Amino acid sequence: MKEKKRSFHMPTAYSILLALILAVAVVTWLVGGSVQRATLAQVVMAVPRGFLDAIDVCLFILILGGFLGVVTATGALDRGIGVLVRRLRGHEMVLIPILMVLFSLGGTTYGMAEETMAFYALITATMVAAGFDAMVGAAVVLVGAGVGVLGSTVNPFAISAAVDAYQSTYPDAVVDYGRILLLGAALWLTSLAAGIALVMRYAARVRKNGRSILTAAEQRQVRETYGQVERVTEEEADLRLTGRQKASLILFGLAFLVMVVALIPWEDFGVNWLAGTAWLTGEPLGAWYFQELEAWFFLAAIAVGAVTCLGEQGIIEPFLHGAGDMIGVVFIIAISRGISVVMSESGLDAWVLERASTALGQVSPALFVAGSYVIYLGLSFLIPSTSGLAAASMPTFAGLTAALGLSPEVMILIFCAACGVVNLITPTSAVVMGGLSICRVEWPTWLRFIWRFLILLIVMNLVILSAAMYLL
* Residue 1, pLDDT above cutoff 60: no
Cα 18 to Cα 14: distance, rounded to the nearest angstrom: 6
> For the residues of 249-298, what is the DSSP string, one character each?
HHHHHHHHHHHHHHHS-GGGGT--GGGGGTTTTSS-TTS--HHHHHHHHH
Residue 233 pLDDT greater than 70, yes or no: no
SS3 content of the chain, % helix, strand, coil (to 5): 80, 0, 20
Average pLDDT (383-406) is: 79
pLDDT band with cut points at 50, 70 and 90 for residue 9 = low
Short-list 453, 431, 353, CA closest to 385: 431
Q: Is the pTM of this model over 0.85?
A: no
Determine contact, residues 332/16, Cβ cutoff 8 Å: no
> 28 vs 23, 133, 395, CA distance in Å?
9, 41, 24
CA-to-CA distance for 385 and 423, rounded, in angstroms?
9
**Residue 386: closest CA among 76, 216, 157:** 157
- Judged by phi (left if over 0) then psi (alpha if -120 to 50, else beta), residue 442 lies in beta
Residue 159 in this model has a pLDDT that exceeds 60: yes
Least confident span in 352-366, 426-440, 450-464:
352-366
Q: Please report which helix (H) or strand (E) contains residue 153, including its range.
A: none
238 with 85: CB under 8 angstroms?
no
Task: Band the pLDDT of 229: cuts 50, 70, 90.
Answer: low
pLDDT at 264: 72
- Per DSSP, the three-state class of 455 is helix
Q: Cα-Cα-Cα-Cα dihedral of 222, 223, 227, 230, to 10°? A: 100
State the Cα torsion 199-202-205-211 to the nearest 10°. Answer: -140
In 10 A of CB 267, how many CB atoms?
A: 13
What is the DSSP secondary structure assignment for residue 111, as one 8-state letter? Answer: -
Amino acid letter, residue 239: L
pLDDT on residue 431: 87
Position 10 scores a pLDDT of: 60
Q: Taking residues 274-282, what's their average pLDDT?
A: 84
CA 223 to mean position of chain CA atoms? 24
Q: Label residue 221 by pLDDT band (50, 70, 90).
A: very high
pLDDT at 185: 94
For the chain, the distance separating the N- and C-terminal CA atoms, rounded to the nearest angstrom, is 74
User: Could you tell me what percent of the chain has a pLDDT over 90?
Assistant: 35
Distance CA(424)–CA(333), nearest Å, equals: 15
Look up residue 329 and give its amino acid: V
For residues 24 and 7, the answer to whether their CB atoms sit within 8 Å is no
Q: What mean pLDDT is predicted for residues 129-146?
A: 94
**156 secondary structure, DSSP code:** I
Q: What is the C-alpha to C-alpha distance for residues 298 and 328, in angstroms, rounded to an integer?
A: 20
Distance from the Cα of residue 374 to its chain's centroid: 21
CA–CA separation, 16 and 149 (whole Å): 26
Indicate the angle between helix axes 408-422 and 134-150, nearest 10 degrees: 170
Average pLDDT of the residues of the chain: 85
CA 235 from chain centre, in angstroms, equals 35
Return the axis-axis angle of helices 443-471 and 430-439, rounded to nearest 10°. 140
- In angstroms, rounded to a whole number, what is the distance separating the alpha carbons of residues 151 and 369? 16
Task: Tell me the per-residue pLDDT of 291-339, one tens digit each, with 9 for 90 and over.
Answer: 898 999 999 999 999 998 888 899 999 999 988 888 887 888 788 788 8
Interatomic CA distance for residues 317 and 300, integer angstroms: 16
Yes or no: say if 393 and 158 are a contact pair by the CB < 8 Å rule: no
Which pLDDT value is given to residue 237?
41
Q: Cα Rg for the chain, rounded, in angstroms?
A: 23
Q: Which residue, 194, 181, 115, is CA-closest to 147?
A: 194
User: 183-207, pLDDT tens digit by residue?
Assistant: 999 999 999 999 999 999 999 999 8
Residues 60 and 117: beta-carbon distance below 8 Å: yes
Task: Give the CA distances from residue 437 to residues 51, 72, 114, 431, in Å, rounded to whole numbers and listed in that order.
Answer: 17, 19, 14, 10
Spatial separation of the C-alpha atoms in residues 433 and 51, rounded to whole Å: 14
Residue 6 pLDDT: 52
Structural contact between residues 174 and 165, judged by C-beta atoms closer than 8 angstroms: no
**C-alpha angle 180-184-188 in degrees, rounded to nearest 5:** 170
Q: Is the pLDDT of residue 343 over 60?
A: yes
- Average pLDDT value for residue range 4-31: 77
**For residues 96 and 410, is the Cβ–Cβ distance under 8 A?**
no
Which residue type occupies 209?
N
Contact between 382 and 340 under an 8 Å Cβ cutoff? The reply is yes
Is the pLDDT at 2 greater than 50, yes or no?
Answer: no
Nearest to 392, CA basis, from 382, 405, 407, 402: 382
